[in-house]
Structure 1
Amino acid sequence: MSLYSDTSVDELETLGWYHYDLSRHAAEALLLSNGIVGSYLLRNSNKGPSFFALSVRAKDSVKHFHVTRKDNGYRFGFNEFATLQDFVNHFANQPLLGSDTGTLMVLKCPYPWRVEEPSIYESVRVHTAVQTGRTENDLVPNAPSLGTKEGYLVKQGAFVKSWKQRWFTLNRYELKYFKDKMCEEPIRTLDLRACSAVQFDYSQDRVNCFCLVFPERTFYLCAKTGVEADEWIKIIRWKLSQTLKGQ
């Protein structure tokens, strides 16, 4: 039996800006990469089938808000709406969301889920604006920050050549590593625009090892499997190729 009523299922499936199980991290990457202030999308919340998250692009960040499905519609804060489209129409005509800095935001452009993403990290063409009557000639060929990735890797120390597990996140051109997944502050942030190469490395006495070459240092990292190492190499190499195109 469906967790949604027939009406809800029909509406969700017809919403071009409903992104299903898109993660918070991926939503931020998409909206910051290709959205404008006021771009928004709806995605599932991990709280359960009746909960959603509305992700909205602010000037330099993305804000996330809870939307709850009720029997008679949807609740947002103290307001209730019969349909999600009523909700959007209501907040498209007046300032709606106060960010942490007190900046008001308006729902301007729905971000469609049918946008090509670099699943194999090759050059793609993505929308720079939504529903503005633009043609394919107005699409940009480069989307350097669409590809995101995170996970544990084992990293070799700079001076003491011991190996320690670190949590890595890749977003836009920033490769950050943390002591563990729960830490909020990174140990270091690497700017991939300064990286000259990434490749498998066989000089270390370890398997599934690859290296990132920077002017001041070469970083040696190891993944749990060869497949995972290859995924990291491919996405970073794709980012480097986009960097060269932008020069």
Structure 2
Amino acid sequence: MSYYSDTPSVDDELESLGWYHFDLSRHAAEALLLSNGKDGSYLLRNSHEGPGSFALSVRAKDSVKHFHVTRKSSGYAFGFNEFASLQDFVSHFANQPLLGSETGTLIVLKCPYPWRVEEPSIYESVRVHTAMQTGRTESDLVANAPSFGTKEGYLVKLGAVVKNWKQRWFTLNRNELKYFKDKMFDEPIRTLDLTACSAVQFDYSKDRVNCFCLVFPERTFYLCAKSGVEADEWIKIIRWKLSQIRKGR
């Protein structure tokens, strides 16, 4: 069975494909989709089987399935089907499940996972840190590696009314910065929506080291990290998220 349409050349389409993750490893793909994706999120990456071979990684509830895709002169082959373009491929399987998993789950392509989503420096630190922890090569991330676009840790925060400093547990996920009384608490004290944040920067106005501030219309939040490196990591990832928010407006 073949599906054809008027499309650009195969090479042009692949280069412009927003969800083609090049040499992303199988484990890194699983880490991305399980941490940041949702049921039906998918991405395309190179396969270790050589040129013209790709793997389509799809999240199906709490697991990630990998499918082999081969580039042909006329398009792309998947199983017994051949498609003139990757867009034809996705359009077809967005309405027809790829297959049923062992648990009976039907896998449908719903949401492409774009490769321009994480700050390279954050990706590198996670990649190297994971390799050091596991003894694997740097290019081989384990499936439970932390999400590249998230961060968590203890920071010391200046109170709004009573001007004292208290340690709080912070989590950054997507565009939400939450802080909790401590790490074991499930409910946050407050959730800060970064879409309303105008700036993040180091702050030297307080009598403390490793401080930075987040500027919101109603209040400026002052936070201190345990080291200058840690403060710089928070600033970089929040600043990157703010740039992505502005691009989307």
Q: TM-score, normalised by structure 2?
A: 0.53
**1:183, distance to aligned residue in structure 2 (A):** 1.1
Q: Is the CA contact 1:153–1:168 (under 8 Å) kept in the aligned structure 2? A: yes
Aligned partner of 2:21 in structure 1 is none
Q: Distance in 1 between matches of 2:29 and 2:64?
A: 15
What residue identity is the alignment partner of 1:198?
V
Q: Distance in 1 between matches of 2:98 and 2:29?
A: 25
What residue identity is the alignment partner of 1:206?
R
Displacement over 6 Å in runs of 4+: none
- Consecutive unaligned residues of structure 2, counting only runs of 5 or more, are 1-23, 45-56, 68-78, 80-96, 124-146
Identity %: 59
Aligned partner of 1:30 in structure 2 is 36
Give 1:230's match in structure 2, choosing from 232, 235, 239: 232
Q: Deviations over 1:34-71 (max 9, x none)?
A: xx725499xxxxxxxxxxxx9935xxxxx42599xxxx
Q: Is the CA contact 2:214–2:222 (under 8 Å) kept in the aligned structure 1? A: yes
**1:246, distance to aligned residue in structure 2 (A):** 1.5
**1:117, distance to aligned residue in structure 2 (A):** 3.9
Q: Answer 1 or 2: which has greater helix percent.
A: 2
What residue identity is the alignment partner of 1:189?
T
Q: Deviations over 1:137-193 (max 9, x none)?
A: xxxxxxxx9621111100111100111111111111100111111111111110001
**1:118, distance to aligned residue in structure 2 (A):** 1.9
Q: Distance in 2 between matches of 1:28 and 1:120?
A: 21
Q: TM-score, normalised by structure 1?
A: 0.53
Q: 1:1-247 residue pairs with structure 2 within 5 A?
A: 18-19=26-27, 27-32=33-38, 37=40, 39=42, 56=59, 63-64=61-62, 92-94=98-100, 105-106=106-107, 108=109, 117-120=118-121, 147-247=149-249
Aligned residues: CA RMSD: 4.0
Q: Distance in 1 between matches of 2:233 and 2:64?
A: 33
**1:19, distance to aligned residue in structure 2 (A):** 1.2
> Closer, same or farther in 2 for the Cα pair 1:245/1:183, shift >3 Å?
same
Aligned partner of 2:70 in structure 1 is none
Q: Deviations over 1:118-137 (max 9, x none)?
A: 22369xxxxxxxxxxxxxxx
- Consecutive unaligned residues of structure 1, counting only runs of 5 or more, are 1-15, 42-53, 58-62, 68-83, 99-103, 123-144
> Closer, same or farther in 2 for the Cα pair 1:105/1:172, shift >3 Å?
farther
Equivalences, count: 164
Q: Distance in 2 between matches of 1:179 and 1:56?
A: 33
Q: Deviations over 1:199-221 (max 9, x none)?
A: 11111111000000000000000
Q: Distance in 2 between matches of 1:219 and 1:121?
A: 23
Q: Is the CA contact 1:146–1:172 (under 8 Å) kept in the aligned structure 2? A: no
Q: Distance in 2 between matches of 1:22 and 1:38?
A: 11
Q: Distance in 1 between matches of 2:116 and 2:160?
A: 41
What residue identity is the alignment partner of 1:31?
G
Q: Deviations over 1:93-126 (max 9, x none)?
A: 237658xxxxx652658x99x988422369xxxx
